[in-house]
């Protein structure tokens, strides 16, 4: 019959197989935090940052930093340049993870990865958010339309050139493997989604002339 220690070890490893583990995740599973150090000492877990652990063999994707931030800052939404990268609306790799948080929320403090944050409230915060699963972690991210609208809303942060490039790529997807996207996502529904997002961000009057020129 397995000992209590073996049972809790297996329970912790099962938890880690679903994605990065925070120390506070153990409380809900009834596992003492001391098990994190024990498993790290045995090489069964590794600490990737303060309070964050994962399996040594866990797959690390190019979007690992997004999963890490989502795990540690669950109230944040991946946005702007990081969302552009996720939606393949840019070829640039952001120097930091860009997040959107509530206007009154406390700013997160992480050692790594580096964060760039913007704030919003109401429709500008809640409109156009979808959930992706990255490395087993539920990640909240702005939709393609909301991401483009946000680039115009926060153009002083990212630059108008970035916003215009994102708009062009949004309206005219191109590149290998995106033929299906071009056929299924162009047209009124895609433009309507952008208009709705721009209105939620209160930047429709800014976006409209560029939209009319590029559509």
Number of Cβ within a 10 Å radius of residue 103: 11
Residues 73, 44 share a domain: no
Residues 72, 16 share a domain: no
CB 129 within 8 A of CB 77: yes
Output the average pLDDT for the chain: 86
Q: Is the peptide bond before 113 cis (omega within 30 degrees of 0)?
A: yes
Residues 81, 169 share a domain: yes
Where among 12, 34, 54 does a domain terminate?
A: 54
- Per-residue confidence at 101, pLDDT binned at 50, 70, 90? very high
Q: Which residue has the higher pLDDT, 188 or 116?
A: 116
Number of Cβ within a 10 Å radius of residue 15: 16
Structure confidence at residue 128 (pLDDT) = 97
92 in a domain, yes or no? yes
Q: Minimal CA–CA distance to 128: which of 150, 143, 139?
A: 143
Number of Cβ within a 10 Å radius of residue 170: 25
Query: pLDDT over 70 for what percent of the chain?
Result: 88
Decide: helix, strand or coil at residue 96. Answer: coil
9-13, 29-33, 133-137, 175-179: the lowest-pLDDT one: 175-179
Q: Minimal CA–CA distance to 142: which of 155, 159, 154, 124?
A: 124
d(CA 125, CA 119): 8
Per-residue pLDDT at 106 exceeds 80: yes
Q: Which domain holds residue 12?
A: 4-54
Where among 54, 72, 92 does a domain terminate?
A: 54
27 in a domain, yes or no? yes
Structure confidence at residue 25 (pLDDT) = 80
């Amino acid at each position: 019959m397995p000992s209590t220690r073996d049972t809790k070890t297996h329970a912790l490893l099962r938890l880690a197989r679903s994605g990065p583990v925070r120390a506070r995740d153990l409380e809900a599973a009834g596992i003492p935090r001391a098990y994190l150090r024990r498993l790290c000492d045995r090489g069964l877990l590794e600490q990737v940052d303060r309070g964050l652990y994962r399996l040594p063999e866990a797959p690390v994707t190019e979007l690992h930093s997004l999963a890490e931030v989502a795990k540690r800052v669950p109230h944040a939404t991946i946005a702007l340049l990081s969302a552009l990268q996720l939606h393949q609306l840019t070829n640039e790799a952001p120097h930091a993870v860009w997040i959107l948080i509530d206007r009154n929320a406390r700013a997160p403090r992480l050692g790594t990865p580096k964060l760039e944050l913007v704030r919003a409230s109401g429709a500008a915060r809640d409109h156009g958010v979808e959930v992706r699963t990255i490395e087993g972690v539920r990640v909240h991210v702005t939709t393609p339309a909301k991401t483009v609208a946000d680039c115009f809303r926060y153009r002083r942060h990212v630059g108008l050139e970035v916003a215009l490039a994102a708009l062009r790529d949004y309206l005219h997807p191109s590149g290998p493997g995106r033929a299906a996207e071009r056929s299924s996502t162009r047209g009124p529904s895609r433009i309507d989604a952008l208009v709705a997002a721009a209105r939620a961000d209160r930047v429709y009057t800014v976006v409209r002339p560029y939209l009319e020129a590029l559509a």
